[in-house]
Chains A and B, each alone.
Chain A
Amino acid sequence: MIYKNKIRTVWMLGLVFLAISCDSYLDVNENPNNPEDAPISGLMINSTYESANNVYRVGDITSNYVQYLASPNPGSSSDTMEPVSNSNTWFNLYNVMTDLSVLIDKAEEEGAGHYQGAAQVLMALNLGTGVDIFGDIPFSESFNFETVTPKYDPDVELYGNVMTLLNEGIANLQGETTAELGDDDFIYGGDIDKWIAFANMLKARYMIHLKDVQGYSAAEVLTAVENGFQSNDNNAKVNFFEQSVNPWFNVARDNADLLLGGWISEQLIQALDGTSYDAVDPRLKLMVGTTDDGEFVGTENGAGRGNAPEQGARSTLIEDQYYTSQTAPILIATYSEQKFIEAEAAFAVDKARSYQAYLDGITAHMNMLEVPQDEIDAYLANPQVGMGEAAFTIDAIFKEKWIALFLHPEAWNDARRYDYQYKDMTLPANLNSGLNGEYIRRLPYPDSETSRNGQNVPSVTLLDRIFWDAE
């Protein structure tokens, strides 16, 4: 019996020993590939880079709606304003906002006020971009995993968040910091003054959206403009890299390789080649390519290329122009855009200032494209362009801003506020019959949301407007 008991004791001891050693033996699940924490600098690098990419991603959707681009295929849903699911763009907007949310909290913890401020400005940019295309979106229940089905906040309230973020961002950028931005900032390389100007420029952009709704103040817009960009040198942009080329360059290169895309709308060609306006724009040849015969020929939106071959018979984006070189910048906000905001805000209160801002806006864009001075002068001297203060209309601002915002998503915000009233702009062929002969007013919610968060997704049609888009 004693022997048996001994065996039992040894056995039990063995089990206990095994159980204890198990605990540490099995404690090997910490991720060896991805750290559980990231430095604020690393988050800033990715956020600046991806914010620029988001401008491209949204611009890629809206450029067909504002008829910069046209599909080579007939009835293409991008041209005909069909409900297209933009799950990838939605994901990327939230992916950057998630990182920014983490960055803001961590920077605050570490007392890195400049990181916090810059992150708030970028958060305002991405949030504003999301609201302008989708309207109500999740935000107040986002990022912290409170729920797997976050509710949608009203667009008008989210604009309040955008303004708060920009104001707090400016305050933080002006305040103390324990860490300085530097090469980890792909937009300004750590220049805080430019960040503050950028925040003000964005305030002007989001306030001018409100022109036709309650709470708009021209004076506030003009104040923001005054604190905003002073020249093209202040432009918010990310220059691309040889290892990671500009996405519009990719479109141009793919098109050359017969993966068709980046075809120019007939609308844009005709607006610049003297057809719609009695002025030939010197920027046309710097922005788009020609046919094999050296001509500028656009493609009608929604109609496709008809019998034209895949190459050589239409204008498309081509490699190595200002917008389409390998290392070309993606422009987030420009001095010329700000000048046109100034022109629009001042139009009713100070027309002389408005007219001058309009001319400055054209010049700024032309300088950016390096248009020779004599061609700039000639263009501004054309009575269709430099019509004088008396004959100057709001239409001129929208037309020139549309050209200066080439490929930028802000153009669609303008187009909707302006009811697409650009001269000679017509509805695309094969228009989505659900639109009853009207232009698209918003994007549908993406399939990823309707399948994952269906109960919260608001029911909307493509004719339901964003709150600032007054009828």
Chain B
Amino acid sequence: MKSLTLILFVLLYSYNSYGQTITGNVTDASDAPLPGVTIVIGGTTNGTTTDFDGNYSIVANSGDVLQFSYIGMQSKEVTVGSSNLINVILQEDSEQLDEVIVTAFGISQEKKSLGYAAQNIDADAITKTKQTNLVSALQGQVAGVQITNSGGAPGQSSRIIIRGINSLDPSADNQPLFVVDGVPIDNSTIESGNNDTPRGLTNRAADINPADVESMSVLKGAAATALYGVRAANGAVIITTKRGKSGRVSINLNTSVGFDELNSLPKLQKEYGQGFSGEYDPESFWPSWGAPISEVAQTVPGHKYQDNWNRAFNTGLQTDNSLSVSGGGENATFYGSFGRLDQKGIIPFSDWARTTAKLSGTVKVSEKFDFSGSINYSNSGGNRVPHDRFMERMMYWSETTDVRDYINADGTMKTYGNTNPIYDARFSTYEDDVNRMIGNLNFNYSPTDWLTLSYRLGTDYYSDSRTKITPGPKGIVGEVPLSSTGTIEETRINSKDITSNFYLTLKKQWNDDLNTTLRLGNDVFQRKFDRVSLRGEDFVIPDFYNVNVTRQGFLGQDKSIRRLVGFYGDLMVNYKEYLFLNVTGRNDISSTLPKDNNSFFYPSVNLGYVFSEHLELPSWFTFGKLRGSWAQVGKDTNPHVLGITYVAPDVFPLDGQVGFSRNSSFGDPELKPELTTSIEFGTQLSFFESRLDLDVTYYKSNAVDQIIPVPISDGTGFSQYITNAGEIQNSGIEVVLGGDIIKNEDFQWTATANVSMNNNEIKAIREGIDEIVVGDQFGYAGSSVTMKLIRGEAFGNLYGTSYERFGADENNIFLDSELPIVIGDDGFPVTGGNQLILGNAVPKWFGGLRNELTYKNFELSVLVDFRTGLEQYNQFDNFLSAFGKPEYSLARNDFRVFEGVLADGTPNTQEVWLGQGVGPDGRDYGAGYWRNAYRGVSENFVQDASFIKLRNISLAYNLSDKMLDRIPFKSLRISLAANNIILYSPWDGFDPESFSAGAGGNAVGFTGLGFPGTQSYFLTFNFGL
């Protein structure tokens, strides 16, 4: 795009010869020549640009002011004197960089011209986070964008939601579109499936090496994304990868080593060991309801608390190396890179690796024609340990048996009875191997100065080959096998995206004040997906794992194809550089909708008013802009959901017979596209030369005609009717506050804070339907928690059981925990019968604070982020309480008078014992308070999941020029970093930032027994040649 701008400049500023000829050279601070710097004589339209070596020549008169300007550099003015030689050094301008935002189709636009909020993250801010997953690198950095890691496994997915959940469909993907160099890519997460335990798979954007990324910008509202059509209805993340620059070849080598460890552990008791009712039993299933460990140790040699919860986990290790070579000549540039990441997780035998190779180039064939292309290959995958089962088995495992001592000499499991978690992690393998190719080609042709024809062709192809093995018995007497038969499952996934985009750009300078750009284009998208699976059960030969050598085989296939065709127009009007109007319109046609309704149009309009360029403002008022937008965006549905179909249930074939049943899902043959209308107002202000910057945005979006799989009476012959049936609203405020607090030669301090608040409301669900269940998670003894959507409430409400409250309003759907608890005749709290709303899993507020400090050659960067106003179901705690492991369950031989009132409202005074069996008072307490009562009340486990985290801190040292002179490097940087350290959280347990649904799921309020979060430490070297 840069080259295009240059051509325009060249064309616009005709050469007019008079006066003396000034020549010179323009370089950057490091003495590298800057090609393409614009030089204009002040007050005229006369100008030129520097050539490949940074040289220029221009005819000017003494006293003229030469204005040197270049994107990303501070402009400089030099008055022509007597000398004919004027050499200029331009300083980098970080502020200036921020001002350019890459928007739809990779078009760089000045931020000041946008009528909507947009934020840009540069390469430095991405790589500093040390995140291996590009999505996680955005954490805490962008207002209105919530990123949540689904867990701490190597390669585990990370979820991104922009301005709240926009769909009532529990299975909808609410994540934004990912666009790399103008071409959309796939960011889906394909989990291990319903008939397997959670494995924590990868979101596909993690296939991109963050070191290859030049910048990321997040387009938030529908206004920002109208040009990407239906696929960007949830916003878009625009990724621009690094390109070669004209000039000398530069080589960069990054090498980094990192260590991971558990970042948080629940408070656990260490006193009581294996058995039940306070009695020791070395073969008991119960790990912690037995006798005090110290008591047993007096008679049983070697009996002690093994500290398994710390010993079961390894120190994770990651090494990351990448090498890039870039450069170019006057008419062509190139960029090539290799990257290799290896990661070993804290759960033994979990690992993930990524190898990437990228090659891109640009060629300027003539002033009228240029093209560019890139190809990105990646291979990723690893062993996905059954982390949920690992943690579950840790719950059951005796605290007095060494969990690390897991295998016998003959290869069978070493156990007292329960399954050893580490043995399972080692042998129940699930390996994925993804080969992916992302490529694009861009052509630009400008037959005249006002017209450019552009074509982009993109492809994203990957194959994902997965093998799952659960061994069966080895046939050794006395062994405890992981499975009575053993299973092998081979899954092959192929996904192929093709995107084609052709557009015309028409530019017209009407007069000095009015400038317009019109784009008209056509966009075609296709995704073909095919998943084949082959499962064999019951191995014929133990330890020989091949589907052919099993006694039973099962097959499965799932295919889909989706096509979209769009036509669009985009008009930008620039009036006197202070008023910017942008009008867009797009018509999409989708293959997934009924033919009569599959074509839909939606417009948008936005306006930016830079009043600081228009009005006279005091000098301290550096910049001021007001902006507003109104936009609509349509949305289609998933492929192949319409009408009536028949399914062959999984159980078949049985004795060679395959049965059919009518699909219980019926897709409305009259289905219409969804329509989201959003408005946005905001202002961007800057004071005292950017010492203080403020950006405030208010937004509201309403998605109507939501396509929802509506549950309907089974009596109709269907259970689910996919139709237009609801409305959801999101509104919120985003504030970005920042500035260059200190700015002098040696010391700079820049701080940026962002805070976002989102309000969500389900405005309507089709008549006759009371609720939509998004997900649920098991809890012992009736304490399961469900996420349900109901009319008039927000997305994310968690329902469960609670203690009965005295005087509670029967119509109140929320738990009123202020009221006194009702105590039963037995002296224990009474569990109420109704499912009440115990919390909401979507944070009300979240944000981050980044501080950048530079002192001479040292750089310190600190990123803190927070979220608050949310609750989660802590399944870990539910399990721990059932098995007598939490610290609070030490109160197991105490007497207690539960605080609360009796059914008649009088205070409870009855003293009860909390232990198991017959108490000192002679009363039989059965399984005891913790198992009989506490674990069965969801209220105990739906907990505040707020946190403040030190997301990243890094300290870097850049070798000074003096020292560099003695070594063969152009630059050398050494940095130390730490990630994901919990500074504060009311949550007792593993990292509250984890949920079992994975990035693709919407049931975010459930921790499950997922891969625990980790904190990491890194040492990185960065060499420039």
Give A residues with C-beta under 8 Å from B: 18, 22, 25-39, 42-47, 49-50, 90-91, 94-95, 98-99, 101-102, 137-139, 141-145, 147-150, 183-184, 186, 241-244, 258, 307, 448-449, 451-456
A142 with B715: CB separation less than 8 A: yes
**Chain A residue nearest in CB terms to B643:** A36
Q: Give A144 to B715 CA distance when docked, in angstroms.
A: 10
Task: Name the segment of B192-200, B574-582, B584-592, B744-752 touching the other chain.
Answer: B584-592
Distance to closest chain B CB from A138 (angstroms)? 3
Give B residues with C-beta under 8 Å from A: 285, 522, 552, 557-563, 565, 589-592, 595, 598, 639-640, 642-649, 651-652, 654-664, 666, 710-719, 721, 768-771, 917, 924, 926
Residues of B within 8 A of A36 (CB): 643-646
Residues of B within 8 A of A35 (CB): 645-646
A95 with B714: CB separation less than 8 A: yes
Residues of B within 8 A of A149 (CB): 712-713, 768
Residues of B within 8 A of A142 (CB): 715-717
Distance to closest chain B CB from A260 (angstroms)? 12
B662 with A98: CB separation less than 8 A: yes
Residues of A within 8 A of B591 (CB): 26-29
Classify the secondary structure of A's interface with B: loop
CB < 8 Å: which of A30, A141, A143, A183 contacts B640? A30
Also in contact, A183 and B769, with CB within 8 A (given A142-B716, A452-B713): no
Also in contact, A42 and B660, with CB within 8 A (given A32-B561, A243-B651): yes
A25 with B563: CB separation less than 8 A: yes
B647 with A34: CB separation less than 8 A: yes
Residues of B within 8 A of A150 (CB): 713, 715-716
CB < 8 Å: which of A45, A95, A138 contacts B658? A45
Also in contact, A145 and B565, with CB within 8 A (given A36-B644, A455-B768): no
Residues of A within 8 A of B712 (CB): 148-149, 452-453
Q: Which 7 A-B pairs have the closest CB atoms?
A: A46-B659, A138-B715, A42-B660, A45-B659, A38-B660, A38-B646, A34-B645
B659 with A22: CB separation less than 8 A: no
Residues of B within 8 A of A28 (CB): 561-563, 591, 639
* 6 further contact pairs, Cβ within 8 A, besides A49-B651, A50-B661, A94-B714: A95-B714, A243-B654, A449-B714, A452-B769, A453-B713, A454-B770
A32 with B655: CB separation less than 8 A: no
Residues of B within 8 A of A22 (CB): 565, 589
Residues of B within 8 A of A45 (CB): 652, 654, 657-660
Distance to closest chain B CB from A234 (angstroms)? 21
Q: Give A39 to B659 CA distance when docked, in angstroms.
A: 9
Residues of A within 8 A of B560 (CB): 32-33
A148 with B662: CB separation less than 8 A: no
A451 with B771: CB separation less than 8 A: yes
Q: Give A95 to B716 CA distance when docked, in angstroms.
A: 10
Q: Give A145 to B720 CA distance when docked, in angstroms.
A: 12
Residues of A within 8 A of B664 (CB): 91, 95, 98
Distance to closest chain B CB from A6 (angstroms)? 15
A31 with B598: CB separation less than 8 A: no
Distance to closest chain B CB from A46 (angstroms)? 3
**Chain B residue nearest in CB terms to A37:** B646
A148 with B656: CB separation less than 8 A: no
A99 with B768: CB separation less than 8 A: no
Q: Give A141 to B716 CA distance when docked, in angstroms.
A: 7
Residues of B within 8 A of A25 (CB): 563, 565
Q: Give A148 to B717 CA distance when docked, in angstroms.
A: 9
A453 with B660: CB separation less than 8 A: no
**Chain B residue nearest in CB terms to A456:** B713
Also in contact, A452 and B663, with CB within 8 A (given A26-B563, A45-B658): no
**Chain B residue nearest in CB terms to A101:** B717
Residues of A within 8 A of B557 (CB): 33
**Chain B residue nearest in CB terms to A452:** B713
A42 with B658: CB separation less than 8 A: yes
A145 with B716: CB separation less than 8 A: yes
Residues of B within 8 A of A244 (CB): 651, 654
Cβ contacts A to B, 25 pairs, < 8 Å: A25-B565, A26-B565, A26-B598, A28-B562, A32-B559, A32-B640, A34-B646, A35-B645, A42-B648, A45-B659, A50-B661, A91-B664, A94-B714, A94-B717, A98-B718, A142-B716, A144-B717, A145-B718, A147-B716, A148-B713, A150-B716, A243-B552, A244-B654, A258-B285, A452-B713
Give the interface centre of B557, B562, B591, B721 by most chain A CB atoms within 10 Å: B591
Distance to closest chain B CB from A149 (angstroms)? 6
Residues of B within 8 A of A242 (CB): 552
CB < 8 Å: which of A27, A39, A90, A456 contacts B660? A39
Give the interface centre of B562, B643, B657, B712 by most chain A CB atoms within 10 Å: B657
**Chain B residue nearest in CB terms to A73:** B781
Residues of B within 8 A of A43 (CB): 659-661
Give the interface centre of B565, B652, B659, B662 by most chain A CB atoms within 10 Å: B659
Q: Give A258 to B284 CA distance when docked, in angstroms.
A: 13
Q: Give A50 to B648 CA distance when docked, in angstroms.
A: 13
A91 with B768: CB separation less than 8 A: no
Residues of B within 8 A of A38 (CB): 646, 660, 662
A49 with B659: CB separation less than 8 A: yes
A29 with B713: CB separation less than 8 A: no
Q: Give A44 to B711 CA distance when docked, in angstroms.
A: 26
CB < 8 Å: which of B561, B649, B713 contacts A138? B713
Q: Give A119 to B666 CA distance when docked, in angstroms.
A: 23
Residues of B within 8 A of A143 (CB): 716-717
Distance to closest chain B CB from A7 (angstroms)? 11
Q: Give A102 to B649 CA distance when docked, in angstroms.
A: 17
Give the interface centre of A39, A95, A184 by most chain B CB atoms within 10 Å: A95
Residues of B within 8 A of A101 (CB): 717
**Chain A residue nearest in CB terms to B656:** A183
Q: Give A44 to B660 CA distance when docked, in angstroms.
A: 8
**Chain B residue nearest in CB terms to A451:** B770
Give the interface centre of B592, B595, B713, B719 by most chain A CB atoms within 10 Å: B713
Distance to closest chain A CB from B773 (angstroms)? 9
B656 with A91: CB separation less than 8 A: no
Residues of B within 8 A of A39 (CB): 660
Distance to closest chain A CB from B1024 (angstroms)? 49
Residues of B within 8 A of A32 (CB): 559-561, 640
Residues of A within 8 A of B662 (CB): 38, 98-99, 102
Q: Give A147 to B666 CA distance when docked, in angstroms.
A: 13
Distance to closest chain A CB from B923 (angstroms)? 13
Give the interface centre of B590, B592, B642, B718 by most chain A CB atoms within 10 Å: B718
Residues of B within 8 A of A449 (CB): 713-715
CB < 8 Å: which of A31, A145, A241, A452 contacts B717? A145
Residues of A within 8 A of B598 (CB): 26
Q: Give A43 to B552 CA distance when docked, in angstroms.
A: 24
Q: Give A33 to B926 CA distance when docked, in angstroms.
A: 53
Q: Give A452 to B769 CA distance when docked, in angstroms.
A: 5
Q: Give A253 to B344 CA distance when docked, in angstroms.
A: 38
B646 with A451: CB separation less than 8 A: no
Residues of B within 8 A of A94 (CB): 714-715, 717
A26 with B590: CB separation less than 8 A: yes
**Chain B residue nearest in CB terms to A239:** B655
Q: Give A166 to B165 CA distance when docked, in angstroms.
A: 52
Residues of A within 8 A of B644 (CB): 36
Q: Give A130 to B616 CA distance when docked, in angstroms.
A: 81
Distance to closest chain B CB from A112 (angstroms)? 15
A448 with B714: CB separation less than 8 A: yes
B552 with A90: CB separation less than 8 A: no
CB < 8 Å: which of A29, A50, A183 contacts B657? A183
Distance to closest chain A CB from B1014 (angstroms)? 33
Also in contact, A29 and B592, with CB within 8 A (given A98-B717, A137-B715): yes
B657 with A184: CB separation less than 8 A: yes
Distance to closest chain A CB from B49 (angstroms)? 32
Residues of B within 8 A of A138 (CB): 713, 715-716
Distance to closest chain B CB from A240 (angstroms)? 9
Residues of B within 8 A of A145 (CB): 666, 716-718
Q: Give A39 to B648 CA distance when docked, in angstroms.
A: 11
